[in-house]
Amino acid sequence: MKTEKSLRLYKKAVSLMPGGVNSPVRAFKAVGGNPLFIARAKGSKIYDVDGNQYIDYVLSWGPLILGHAHPQVVRALKKAVENGTSYGAPTPLEIELATLVKKAFPSIEKLRMVNSGTEATMSAIRLARGFTKRNKVIKFEGCYHGHVDGLLVSAGSGGATFGVPDSLGVPLSYISETIILPFNDTATFKSTVKKHWKDIACVIVEPVVGNMGCILPREDFLEVLRRETDKYGIVLIFDEVMTGFRVSFGGAQQFYRIKPDLTCLGKVIGGGLPVGAYGGKKEIMSLVAPEGRVYQAGTLSGNPIAMTAGIETLKILSRPETYKELESKMNHLEEGLKDAAFRAAVNVKFYRAGTIFCTYFTDKEVVDAKTAKNSDTEKFKRFFMGMLQKGVYIAPSQFEAGFISLAHTDSDIEKTVRVAYKTFKEL
Ligand code: PMP
C-alpha cells in the first residue's frame, strides 16, 4: 500500500490546520498512523490520492446511505446548481424535504432546517428550556450530541453526578446545568428525575448509541424515559442525527415505538451535504422565531443544494424495497463477520441496529460507556490497520460505528469478510 502522497499532503495540512484536519477523528489519532487523503469516491468505494481503493464503511460518518455519488443525487445536484446556490429566501425545496421528513417521522409535526447535527441539538435544547422555563439537561454517559458547550461533558463515577468538561473553553457554570447519567440504567434515571424534576428542562438521548460503538437500549429503557418525562413535564429529545433513516426508515423511534417530544436529525437527511433539522410537537415548535420567542437562525439554512441532495436521498429511501435490501446486506455482513471471528477464535461482541454496527474486542456484553471500555483498543488498532492495508476502510476508532449503504454489493461484503478473517487471524 503506497501512501507517499497522503503523507506529503498531511505534512502540508498540519502546517495549515490543527492536526491537519477539519474534524478531530479524521486524524487517525486513536489508531496511530497518518490519515489518508481522499481523491474521489463512487458507490461503496473510496480512492485515496495514491490510487488505493477501499470498501468504505465510514460513508462520511453515516450520511451516504445510498453510497457515494449516487447518479440520481448527482444529476439533481448538477441541475440545482445551475439555478443558483443560495437565496436566503424560502424555496419550494424546503417544503418538499420537510414533507418527506414528516412522512417518515410522525412525531414531527413541524420542523426547522439547520446546517449540522450540532446546530440541531443545540437549538432543540434552547427550545426545550424556553418551553419549560427550566434550565437543566439530562444526558447519558458516552452519548455524543455534537460539540455543544453544555453537552461536551462526560460522567463522573457512576450514579447521578455532575461532571467535568471534556474540553477546555467550556465554563464549569455551563456544565453545572448538565446532569450525566449512565445509559440503560432506569433506576438511577428514575430517582434523579424524581429529585430534580423542577429544574429539568429536557432529557436528550441517542436512542441507539452510535458514538461509543453501537449500544442498544435495554428492553424498557426508552419506555421509562418516555413515561417519566411525561409525568414531570420534561421534554424528551431523541437525537436521531445518526439513527434517523438508519435504524429504520422512521429511525429508532419507529423501531422501538416511542414518540419523543422533539427529534434531532442530520447526516442522511442531507444526502452528503451539510443539513440538520429539529422538530416535534407543534406546541413546542411554535415557540421558535419568528412564531415564538426562542431565537434560532441560519444564513445558509435550507439552502437549495443541500435540500436537493436530501430530497433525492429520501425519495429513494421511501421506496418499499429499499429497507429490505439494506436489511439483507446488513444480515450478510453481520453473519459473515461473526463467523469470521468465530473461525479465527477471536473474542468479539458484534452489535447492530439497522445499518449501524460495531465490533468490540471483548467477551463481555457492552451496554453502556463503562462496559464499552472493556474493549481491547490495542487489538482494535491492529484490526483497523490490517483491514485498511487489505482495502477495507472502517472508522479509525473503536468508539465509532460502522455503516453500510445500498451500494455495497455481495462481492464487497464477501471480500470484507475474507479480509476480516485474515486480519482476525493476525491478531
Ligand atoms: N448527534 C449525534 C448522535 C451524532 O452522531 C453527531 C455527529 N456524529 C452529532 C449529533 C453532531 O452532528 P454534526 O457533526 O453534523 O454537527
> Is the same domain home to 312 and 407?
no
> Is the same domain home to 104 and 177?
yes
370 flagged as catalytic = no
Mean pLDDT of the chain: 95
**Taking the CB of residue 424, how many other CB atoms lie within 10 A of it?**
23
Give the position of cell 425519495: 315
> Is the same domain home to 204 and 257?
yes
Contact, 2 vs 51, CB < 8 A? yes
Backbone angles phi, psi at 384, to 5 degrees: -55, -50
- The number of distinct structural domains making up the chain is 2
Of all residues in the chain, what percent carry a pLDDT higher than 90? Answer: 91
The response to whether residue 270 sits with its C-beta less than 6 Å from ligand 1 reads: no
Give the contacts of 41 (CB within 8 A, at least 6 positions apart). 47, 56, 68, 69
Question: Which residue in 139, 267, 379, 381 is the catalytic one?
Answer: 267
Q: Average pLDDT, stretch 11-33?
A: 93
pLDDT given at position 315: 98
pLDDT given at position 164: 59
Cα of 144 vs centre of ligand 1, distance in Å, is: 7
User: In this predicted model, what pLDDT tens digit does every residue of 157-184 receive, in sequence order?
Assistant: 232 334 557 788 888 888 899 999 999 9
Does 1 score more than 70 pLDDT?
A: yes
144 flagged as catalytic = yes
Does 332 score more than 70 pLDDT?
A: yes
Beta bridge partners, 265, equal 277
- Read off the CATH number of the domain in which 12 is found: 3.90.1150.10
Q: Average pLDDT, stretch 356-360?
A: 97
Cα of 339 vs centre of ligand 1, distance in Å, is: 32
Angle at 298 between CA 236 and CA 73, to 5 degrees: 90
Between residues 302 and 32, which one has the greater pLDDT?
A: 302
The response to whether residue 241 sits with its C-beta less than 6 Å from ligand 1 reads: yes
Of all residues in the chain, what percent carry a pLDDT higher than 70? Answer: 97
> Is the same domain home to 345 and 237?
no
What CA–CA distances, in Å, run from 187 to 119, 256, 398? 31, 20, 28
> Is the same domain home to 269 and 162?
yes
d(CA 224, CA 185): 10
Between residues 173 and 222, which one has the greater pLDDT?
A: 222
> Is the same domain home to 128 and 209?
yes
- Read off the CATH number of the domain in which 297 is found: 3.40.640.10
d(CA 251, CA 398): 23
> Is the same domain home to 341 and 264?
no
Give the contacts of 37 (CB within 8 A, at least 6 positions apart). 5, 6, 9, 10, 13, 48, 49
**Taking the CB of residue 176, how many other CB atoms lie within 10 A of it?**
14
> Is the same domain home to 268 and 123?
yes
> Is the same domain home to 312 and 186?
yes
> Is the same domain home to 117 and 33?
no
Does 219 score more than 60 pLDDT?
A: yes
d(CA 214, CA 2): 32
The response to whether residue 117 sits with its C-beta less than 6 Å from ligand 1 reads: yes
User: In this predicted model, what pLDDT tens digit does every residue of 248-274 receive, in sequence order?
Assistant: 999 999 999 999 999 999 999 999 999
* pTM score of the predicted model: 0.97
C-alpha cell at 158: 457512576
> Is the same domain home to 206 and 105?
yes
d(CA 249, CA 277): 16
User: In this predicted model, what pLDDT tens digit does every residue of 125-155 receive, in sequence order?
Assistant: 999 999 999 999 999 999 999 999 988 886 3
Burial of 232 (0-12, 13-18, 19+ CB in 10 A): middle
Between residues 65 and 30, which one has the greater pLDDT?
A: 65
Out of 276, 300, 317, a domain closes at: 317
What is the residue range of 334's domain? 4-69+320-426
Q: Average pLDDT, stretch 88-103?
A: 98
d(CA 273, CA 266): 10
DSSP alpha helix (H) spans, 286-409: 304-317, 320-343, 369-372, 377-389
> Is the same domain home to 193 and 251?
yes
Out of 317, 334, 349, a domain closes at: 317
Amino acid at 425: K
Does 385 score more than 60 pLDDT?
A: yes
Out of 302, 317, 332, a domain closes at: 317
Give the position of cell 458547550: 149
pLDDT given at position 156: 31
The response to whether residue 210 sits with its C-beta less than 6 Å from ligand 1 reads: yes
